Chains A and B, each alone.
Chain A
Amino acid sequence: MRLRDITRRAGRSLKNAKARTLLTSLAIGVGAFTITLSLAAGTGGKQYAEDIVSSNTNVKELYVQPKQDAQGDSSQPKEYSDTPALSYGGGFSLKLLEQSDIDKITKIDGIETVTPIYNVTAKYVTREGQKKYQTSVEAFLSTITQEYAAGSGDSVTGNEAILPDTFSKALGFENPDDAIGQTIDVVVSGTIPGSGDKTFPLTIVGVTKKSELAAVSGQSGIQASSEIVKEMYQFSQKGTPIENAYMGATVLAQNEGDVESIKEKINQQGYDAQTAEDLMGFIFQFINVLQGILIGFGALAVLTSVFGIINTQYISVLERTQQIGLMKALGMRRRDVGRLFKLEAAWIGFLGGAIGSGLAFAAGSAANPWIRETLTLGENTNLLIFQPWVFGVVIIGLMLISVGAGIMPARKAAKLDPIEALRTE
């Protein structure tokens, strides 16, 4: 018998038992629904996490620190080293990078720039006729995505700066637009006694919106050009041993693909480099675990529905004993009888997969705006992203599983003795 004819007959006998077919496929549909949604949530979650990572860090960026000594037992004396370090009490110290280290790293192939990390805590920031506010000043990095309420961060040079919108309000600008081109004063004090304060007037070129995505390590302070931040840093640390030393440096790779190899090269030089992925890896791990749990539930639903299919098909074989007997008497081969029932199971799997993943798509598309509002995600962020291949994989996968479930009943049908089946009364 031709496969096409068997498939048609399988479809027809399912159509003759509509309610049973629908209920059985709904059982498998629950599994399809869960699996499709969890795959969509995984994709959406990763996409969202990537957005977070790209707005907090740059994937081409590496964060380099000196390799720290094992702090180990603080009761043991430690050898003195001439390199600059921040010492804490109890024998703990934090090694710092020097300019020579920066130069050494710059020589590695594939590196675009090496920017030392300056950590400036300003005494205060103010504007004429306004109150004074505490703040930190960070070097502006054009590679980090930010949303602007006014102005832009296309180029931040010289004494230009970017202000968070909270500061623009506190400093008396009614609208973010009013702040553009205005001057604020950042006052930094020196560490050595008697060095006094120094005022750095900065021109505002941009005001950033409070970013939903920057929740993890968002820019909360003022961002200024790296030149001015360096000046502030050197003023504040003037006269201390760490004047020309840094806690770390940001390395920008030329190509995204080289990041891993550059990390290795930097580590070989005796430093400790971390990629954006290393820093943000926990998010992806979390998403993977969550997705795994959801898929597990889906698999459980599928497993349950497998028994449903076996049960339905068994009953179907019993109900259609005469039909099977007739087909065998008419010369239908055992293999074809088995195929008929396996194909019926495949149809059930197809229906269940299509219904389940279709409903998941509809429900997910409807839920996306709601999720966005409830969790106050950024605009255009969908936590559920449906990729076309998922539907194919889910439907084909469930068809295969259904065929597997149909093997036992199909074998029973194929083995049926036509004489017994056709015995009248």
Chain B
Amino acid sequence: MIEVKNLTKTYGKKQNVFMALDDVSFTIPDGASVAILGKSGSGKSTLMHAMSGLDRPQHGEIVIDGENILKLKAKAVDKFRATKMSFIFQSFFVQANETCFDNVSLPLEIANVSGGERRKKVIAALEAVELGDKIKSKAKNLSGGQKQRLAVARAIVNSPKVLFADEPTGNLDSTTGEVIEDLLFGHTKTNGTTLIIVTHDPDLAEKCDIQIRIKDGKIESISEPKKAEIKKPVTRRIQ
């Protein structure tokens, strides 16, 4: 369970104070998929950064597994991120000059996983995203969709509790985007991983259990959690 309590984050000083997050509170149950929706500048990215411990808001609490990560020391937050969290970004951020194996191996190296263990997990993760035949290929030789699949493999390799995805399909066409979405939802549901997607794509948000809409740093609305068992067929809106 992730509890966000009275989160407030401001930029600037005195007259120029800008409220990026204004008293934000909500709760996310374990294993749920959550979409954080909002226009650019609404504070949705700031919220994600705060929840992942990358940013330090001035007030509030973020309690994950009973621990307020805002109270932890930098070293402990790093360890938390290395073992319990992972990320997917809009621009992939895969290391072009490194092989797929080394790209996926990075989070495990950071988490001090031994070499043999690492090999097993990396290969499993690459196979899960259907890149099993690209283990030794350099990332720069992959297509955009393959790169994002590689990023997904990197995100799931350390079996995180929480997976943050920042516009994961923003740079992809709708077909490849769908592949990535299926991968993400499929993996997180089967492994009970909490998935937090920051997006302004309403279709993608629709597929999540909970939608949190943010406007001007405040929560505009939170949808009631859908029941996880009911799998509603999703239709794409014709654009």
Contact of A330 with B110 in the complex, beta carbons under 8 Å: yes
Chain B, range 91-107, C-beta contacts under 8 Å to A? 91, 93, 95, 97-98, 102, 106-107
The A/B interface has a contact count, at CB < 8 Å, of: 63
Q: Does A332 contact B (CB under 8 A)?
A: yes
A327 contacts across to B, CB distance below 8 A: 106, 110
Most chain A beta-carbon neighbours within 10 Å: one of B49, B102, B106: B106
B52 contacts across to A, CB distance below 8 A: 329
Of the listed stretches B29-37, B80-88, B224-232, name the one at the interface; the rest are far from the partner chain.
Answer: B80-88
Chain B, range 46-75, C-beta contacts under 8 Å to A? 49, 52, 54-55, 74-75
Q: How far is the CA of A9 from the CA of B95 in the complex (A)?
A: 12
B81 contacts across to A, CB distance below 8 A: 329-331
Contact of B78 with A331 in the complex, beta carbons under 8 Å: yes
B40, chain A: closest CB distance, angstroms: 11
Residue of A nearest to B138 (CB): A16
Residue of A nearest to B105 (CB): A5
Q: Does A215 contact B (CB under 8 A)?
A: no
B203 contacts across to A, CB distance below 8 A: none
Residue of A nearest to B96 (CB): A16
A425, chain B: closest CB distance, angstroms: 8
Contact of B78 with A2 in the complex, beta carbons under 8 Å: no
Contact of A419 with B55 in the complex, beta carbons under 8 Å: yes
Q: A329-B54, A329-B81, A331-B80 are in contact. Are A424 and B110 (CB under 8 A)?
A: no
B81, chain A: closest CB distance, angstroms: 4
Interchain CB contact (< 8 A) of B110 among A16, A323, A332, A422:
A332
B143, chain A: closest CB distance, angstroms: 19
Q: Does B136 contact A (CB under 8 A)?
A: no
Q: How far is the CA of A330 from the CA of B111 in the complex (A)?
A: 9
Q: How far is the CA of A2 from the CA of B82 in the complex (A)?
A: 13
A90, chain B: closest CB distance, angstroms: 87
Chain B, range 113-159, C-beta contacts under 8 Å to A? none
A225, chain B: closest CB distance, angstroms: 78
A393, chain B: closest CB distance, angstroms: 33
A282, chain B: closest CB distance, angstroms: 59
B113, chain A: closest CB distance, angstroms: 9
Contact of A322 with B93 in the complex, beta carbons under 8 Å: yes
Interchain CB contact (< 8 A) of B95 among A2, A323, A333:
A323
- The main secondary structure of chain A at its interface with chain B is helix
Q: How far is the CA of A150 from the CA of B107 in the complex (A)?
A: 79
Contact of A424 with B90 in the complex, beta carbons under 8 Å: yes
Residue of A nearest to B97 (CB): A16
Q: Does A418 contact B (CB under 8 A)?
A: yes
Chain A, range 371-419, C-beta contacts under 8 Å to B? 418-419
Q: Does B112 contact A (CB under 8 A)?
A: yes
Contact-size category for B = 20 to 34
Q: A1-B109, A2-B109, A5-B109 are in contact. Are A331 and B85 (CB under 8 A)?
A: yes
Contact of A330 with B97 in the complex, beta carbons under 8 Å: no
A299 contacts across to B, CB distance below 8 A: none
B78 contacts across to A, CB distance below 8 A: 328, 331-334
Chain A, range 301-342, C-beta contacts under 8 Å to B? 322-323, 325-334, 336
Q: Does A12 contact B (CB under 8 A)?
A: yes
Contact of A334 with B74 in the complex, beta carbons under 8 Å: yes
Q: How far is the CA of A296 from the CA of B87 in the complex (A)?
A: 52
A80, chain B: closest CB distance, angstroms: 91
B197, chain A: closest CB distance, angstroms: 15
Q: How far is the CA of A418 from the CA of B53 in the complex (A)?
A: 11
Interchain CB contact (< 8 A) of A331 among B95, B97, B98, B110:
B110
Chain A, range 99-129, C-beta contacts under 8 Å to B? none
A330 contacts across to B, CB distance below 8 A: 81-82, 86-87, 106-107, 110
A9 contacts across to B, CB distance below 8 A: 109
Residue of A nearest to B155 (CB): A330
Q: Does B39 contact A (CB under 8 A)?
A: no
A6, chain B: closest CB distance, angstroms: 8
Residue of B nearest to A423 (CB): B45
Residue of A nearest to B94 (CB): A326
Contact of A331 with B49 in the complex, beta carbons under 8 Å: no
Q: How far is the CA of A258 from the CA of B64 in the complex (A)?
A: 79
Interchain CB contact (< 8 A) of A329 among B79, B87, B90:
B87
B140, chain A: closest CB distance, angstroms: 10
Q: A330-B107, A419-B54, A419-B55 are in contact. Are A424 and B79 (CB under 8 A)?
A: no
Contact of A331 with B83 in the complex, beta carbons under 8 Å: yes
Interchain CB contact (< 8 A) of A1 among B85, B95, B112:
B112
Q: How far is the CA of A255 from the CA of B36 in the complex (A)?
A: 90
Q: How far is the CA of A13 from the CA of B91 in the complex (A)?
A: 21
B49 contacts across to A, CB distance below 8 A: 419
Q: How far is the CA of A390 from the CA of B87 in the complex (A)?
A: 49
Contact of B74 with A422 in the complex, beta carbons under 8 Å: no
Q: Does B89 contact A (CB under 8 A)?
A: yes
Interface of A toward B, CB cutoff 8 Å: 1-2, 5, 9, 12-13, 16, 322-323, 325-334, 336, 418-419, 422, 424
Q: What are 26 A-B interface contacts by the 8 Å CB criterion? A: A2-B109, A9-B109, A12-B97, A13-B97, A16-B98, A323-B95, A326-B95, A328-B54, A328-B78, A329-B81, A330-B86, A330-B106, A331-B80, A331-B81, A331-B83, A331-B85, A331-B111, A332-B82, A333-B75, A333-B78, A334-B78, A418-B54, A419-B55, A422-B89, A424-B90, A424-B91
Q: Which 8 A-B pairs have the closest CB atoms?
A: A331-B82, A331-B81, A16-B97, A5-B109, A331-B78, A332-B110, A326-B93, A330-B107
Apart from A1-B112, A332-B82, A424-B90, list 10 A-B contacts with CB within 8 A. A1-B109, A2-B112, A5-B109, A12-B97, A13-B97, A322-B93, A330-B110, A331-B80, A332-B78, A333-B75
